[in-house]
């Protein structure tokens, strides 16, 4: 194999970008994901600044969970029964309007955590309908053999945005304030609206009558119940996210363990960016994912690595808490102690390893679902997939927020990582068909 061929096999497979519609969506995401991550950073930081409570930061996950579950499942059914382009236009508009509402409450300095949480819940409802629809569009745009590459490309862009957003947003919150970050998000979302507008019409492939209701959602769940491999792909991801996603603790860790300011700062920014950094690097070097046939085993191994990475971060948090009182940091949250610098580096490195493992797991699970599902149920299954992917971390926000307040963020994080490793191994042994699952390449 020549040097050029080896490079193509190592780096991301870019064949899906030859499709103009996919390329426009992918390019628009480069802009809009950065804006979205500014809001992702600003919301927990603003809640913590208003309340000084990780439990209240975790409560945001509960406010998001109900609209995410209902919107994800119902949105998947809508995606199977309506024109997917039109549905994307409506939901993208809703996300833009709620981002503008975030800006307004910050510009008016309302200082109400409940207003903030209600706007957050509304935005998550639109987002919950949008994402299954967007995922269901992908197999209409690119051929099946390019789906792993397309998923990896999408995830890589999302993770690069999730790096830039926290690094920029976390550091600039003390300088520019929350309103500026929310306003940038609303403006950047216009790029996605343009890309969706350029899509062709995508009516449902199966002819349907009547209104979309609970029966259509239940049909998708019944379909999933009969496919053990797909069901287990959701179970292991729930284990990874519920017990191993400590992001609700990052404001507390940055402030108490690393001495950053309440409003954010550098320590908070790099902690928020660490998992996406690992995922983005994993995406850049994702050429290998299209060659893996034993995808079930690959998912289990990736989640074990995720759990070990989270455990390492928790241990770093514990040590940082012990030495954090040695120094006082500046207003920007710059880590001044050499010991704290090393511990922050250890925490970021561990979270980055976890992020790279999560990227691989997500690419395989997305591909398994897209290849196994027929188009007339693909939206509903993507709805379930979305609920699992985003609902798990929201549950984790609540659990970790409460556990962090009671036990401390280090114990909560490290303990969660250990639980991930133990539970995913038990789940895999209980369903050997998942480990044996393979595809022909």
Give the count of beta carbons closer than 10 Å to the beta carbon of residue 149.
Answer: 22
Supply the pLDDT for residue 328: 43
Q: Which has more confidence, 112 or 418?
A: 418
The mean per-residue pLDDT over the stretch 238-258 comes to: 86
User: Residue 175 contacts by C-beta under 8 Å, 6 or more apart in sequence?
Assistant: none
pLDDT at 187 over 50: yes
Cβ–Cβ under 8 Å, residues 402 and 55: yes
Supply the pLDDT for residue 42: 83
Tell me how far apart the alpha carbons of residues 407 and 429 are, in angstroms, rounded to a whole number: 31
Q: What is the tens place of the pLDDT at every residue in 342-372?
A: 888 899 999 999 998 988 888 788 777 766 5
Supply the pLDDT for residue 269: 77
Tell me how far apart the alpha carbons of residues 119 and 285 are, in angstroms, rounded to a whole number: 37
Q: How confident is the model at residue 277 (pLDDT cuts 50, 70, 90)?
A: confident
pLDDT at 121 over 80: yes
pLDDT at 290 over 70: no
Q: What is the tens place of the pLDDT at every residue in 134-151?
A: 777 877 888 777 777 777
Q: What is the tens place of the pLDDT at every residue in 153-170?
A: 777 777 676 676 666 666
Supply the pLDDT for residue 310: 95
pLDDT at 172 over 90: no
Backbone angles phi, psi at 430, to 5 degrees: -75, -20
The mean per-residue pLDDT over the stretch 246-254 comes to: 84
Tokens of 186: 């609303």
Q: Which of 46, 332, 333 is nearest to 324 (CA)?
A: 333
Backbone angles phi, psi at 211, to 5 degrees: -85, 150
Tell me how far apart the alpha carbons of residues 79 and 383 are, in angstroms, rounded to a whole number: 9
Q: What is the tens place of the pLDDT at every residue in 295-349?
A: 788 889 999 999 999 999 999 988 887 765 444 444 444 444 677 778 888 999 9
Cβ–Cβ under 8 Å, residues 199 and 85: yes
Q: How confident is the model at residue 415 (pLDDT cuts 50, 70, 90)?
A: very high
Tokens of 127: 């987002």
Cβ–Cβ under 8 Å, residues 424 and 300: yes
The mean per-residue pLDDT over the stretch 11-33 comes to: 78
Any idea which of 252-266, 283-297, 400-414 has the lowest mean pLDDT? 283-297
Please state, rounded to an integer, the average pLDDT across all residues of the chain. 78
Supply the pLDDT for residue 314: 92
264 to each of 14, 213, 325, 334, 383, how far by Cα in Å? 36, 43, 18, 11, 33
Tell me how far apart the alpha carbons of residues 434 and 427 are, in angstroms, rounded to a whole number: 10
Supply the pLDDT for residue 221: 62
Cβ–Cβ under 8 Å, residues 441 and 327: no
Q: Which has more confidence, 406 or 381?
A: 406
Supply the pLDDT for residue 331: 43
Supply the pLDDT for residue 327: 43
Cβ–Cβ under 8 Å, residues 439 and 293: yes
Q: How confident is the model at residue 438 (pLDDT cuts 50, 70, 90)?
A: confident
Phi/psi zone of residue 265: left (φ > 0), alpha (ψ -120 to 50 degrees), beta? left
């Amino acid at each position: 194999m020549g040097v050029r061929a080896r490079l193509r096999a190592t780096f991301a497979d870019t064949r899906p970008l030859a499709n103009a519609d996919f390329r426009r969506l992918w390019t628009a995401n480069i802009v809009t994901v950065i804006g979205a991550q500014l809001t992702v950073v600003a919301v927990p930081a603003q809640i913590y600044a208003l309340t000084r409570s990780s439990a209240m930061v975790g409560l945001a996950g509960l406010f998001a969970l109900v609209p995410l579950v209902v919107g994800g499942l119902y949105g998947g059914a809508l995606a199977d029964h309506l024109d997917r382009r039109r549905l994307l236009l409506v939901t993208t508009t809703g996300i833009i309007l709620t981002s503008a509402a975030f800006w307004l409450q910050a510009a008016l300095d309302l200082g109400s955590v409940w207003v903030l949480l209600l706007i957050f819940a509304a935005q998550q409802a639109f987002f919950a309908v949008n994402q299954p629809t967007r995922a269901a569009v992908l197999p209409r745009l690119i051929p099946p053999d390019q789906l792993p590459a397309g998923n990896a490309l999408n995830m890589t862009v999302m993770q690069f945005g999730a790096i830039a957003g926290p690094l920029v947003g976390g550091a600039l919150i003390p300088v520019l304030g929350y309103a500026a970050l929310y306003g940038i998000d609303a403006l950047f979302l216009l790029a996605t609206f343009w890309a969706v507008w350029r899509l062709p019409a995508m009516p449902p492939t199966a002819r349907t009558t009547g209104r979309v209701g609970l029966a259509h959602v239940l049909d998708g769940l019944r379909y999933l119940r009969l496919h053990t491999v797909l069901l287990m792909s959701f179970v292991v991801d729930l284990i990874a996210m519920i017990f191993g996603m400590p992001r609700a603790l990052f404001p507390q860790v940055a402030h108490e363990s690393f001495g950053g300011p309440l409003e954010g700062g550098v320590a908070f920014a790099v902690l928020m960016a660490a998992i996406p950094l690992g995922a983005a690097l994993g995406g850049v070097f994702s050429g290998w994912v299209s060659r893996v046939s034993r995808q079930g085993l690959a998912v289990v191994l990736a989640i074990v690595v995720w759990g070990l990475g989270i455990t390492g971060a928790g241990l770093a948090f514990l040590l940082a808490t012990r030495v954090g009182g040695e120094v006082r940091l500046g207003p920007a949250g710059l880590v001044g102690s050499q010991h704290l610098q090393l511990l922050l580096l250890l925490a970021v490195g561990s979270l980055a390893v976890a992020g790279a493992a999560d990227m691989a797991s997500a690419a395989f699970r997305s591909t398994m679902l897209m290849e196994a599902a027929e188009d007339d149920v693909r939206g509903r299954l993507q709805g379930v997939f979305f609920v699992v992917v985003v609902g798990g971390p929201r549950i984790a926000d609540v659990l970790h927020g409460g556990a962090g307040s009671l036990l401390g963020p280090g114990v909560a994080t490290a303990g969660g990582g250990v639980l991930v490793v133990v539970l995913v191994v038990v789940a895999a042994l209980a369903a050997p068909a998942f480990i044996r699952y393979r595809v022909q390449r």
